[in-house]
Amino acid sequence: DQQVKQNSPSLSVQEGRISILNCDYTNSMFDYFLWYKKYPAEGPTFLISISSIKDKNEDGRFTVFLNKSAKHLSLHIVPSQPGDSAVYFCAASGGGSTLGRLYFGRGTQLTVWP
Amino acid sequence: GAGVSQSPSNKVTEKGKDVELRCDPISGHTALYWYRQSLGQGLEFLIYFQGNSAPDKSGLPSDRFSAERTGGSVSTLTIQRTQQEDSAVYLCASSDRTSGRLETQYFGPGTRLLVL
C-alpha cells in the first residue's frame, strides 16, 4: 500500500525554466516531509524538508510547498539547471507506530535540457 | 566530515548463499536505518535502530533477513539463503535523533546486490 505517491515518473524541462515535482500522501499522521535527489549509482542526497506546521520552505533555488488539506506537496526548482537532472524522491515520516521510518514515493526522473 | 559509508559497493552471489552488508553511520548519529530499492521501485523500509532500544524490524520481508548494530555504531545486514528477488540496492541511513524527532536521514551510497 503506497502511502506516498509520485504519479509522474518523468519530467523534462528546459534550462532556466521552472521544474515542478509533485507528491501526494495518504496518511494524515505524516508531519515531516523531505525531498531527496539521487544520481545513478549514488545514495539519495537530502535536498529540502518541511514540517507540517509550515506551508512553504525555501532554500536557494528550491522551494517546497505543503498543502495539508489536499495531502499534497510540491518541489519547485527555479531556475532549472542541467546539473539538476536526477531522480527526485519525496519522503514522509510521522509519529506513533511509524516513528523513525521514512515512506518514499517511487521517484520522478527530472531531465533539464539546454 | 565523513558521511555514511557502506561496503561492499557491489556484491554478486549465487542463489542460496548468505551475504553480509555493512554500514558505518555518521559519527555521533544515534539512529540507523536500512532500506532497499528494487528496480523501478521507491525505497522500502527494512529495519531501524535507535540507541539501546529494541530495533523496529517490522519492514524485514522474511526471516532470512536480520540485522544487528554493535556498540551503537556499525551495523550489519545479513541475508541468508539469498533468492533472486533479493537483488536490489540496499541503502543505509543515519540521523541525529537527539536533535528532535523531526530529524533528517542521511544516506550512504548503497550496496548493489545481484543474486544469480
Read off the pLDDT of residues B16-67 as tens digits, 9 standing for 90 and up.
Answer: 999 999 999 999 888 999 999 998 788 999 999 988 888 889 999 999 999 9
Lowest mean pLDDT across A42-46, A71-75, B14-18, B99-103: B99-103
Amino acid present at B4:
V
Q: What does the pLDDT read at residue A66?
A: 97
B interface with A, Cβ–Cβ below 8 Å: 4, 6, 31, 33, 35, 40-45, 48, 50, 56, 59, 91, 93, 101-102, 104-110, 112
Report phi then psi at B97, rounded to 5.
Answer: -65, -25
| pLDDT at A36 > cutoff 60 | yes
Distance (Å) from the alpha carbon of B110 to chain A's nearest alpha carbon: 6
Q: In angstroms, rounded to a whole number, what is the distance separating the alpha carbons of residues A76 and A21?
A: 7
Question: Residue A103 and residue B56: Cβ atoms within 8 Å?
Answer: no
The most confident of the ranges A29-33, B25-29, B108-112 is B108-112
Q: Which of A54-63, A65-74, B1-10 has the lowest mean pLDDT?
A: B1-10
The C-alpha cell 503506497 sits at A2
- Touching check for A22 and chain B: CB below 8 Å? no
**What percent of chain B has pLDDT above 70?**
94
Residues 6+ apart with CB under 8 A from B25: B4, B32, B73, B74, B75, B92, B94
Which stretches does DSSP call E strand in chain B? 5-7, 10-13, 19-24, 31-37, 43-50, 65-69, 75-79, 88-95, 106-107, 111-115
Cα A10 from chain centre: 13
In contact, B24 and B9? CB cutoff 8 Å: no
Q: Which of A34, A42, A107 sits opposite B104 (nearest CB)?
A: A34
Are the Cβ atoms of B56 and A101 closer than 8 angstroms?
Answer: yes
Q: Does A53 touch chain B (CB under 8 A)?
A: no
Q: Would you state the pLDDT for residue B85?
A: 95
The pLDDT of residue B100 is: 57
CA distance B4 to B21: 13
What is the pLDDT, as a whole number, of residue A96? 65
Contact assignment for B33 to A102 by CB distance below 8 Å: yes
pLDDT at A87 over 90: yes
Task: Give dist(CA A51, CA A56) in Å, integer.
Answer: 9
Alpha-carbon torsion angle A52, B110, A43, A48, nearest 10: 20
> For residue B99, is pLDDT > 70?
no
pLDDT, position A41? 85
Distance from CA of A107 to the nearest CA of B (A): 6
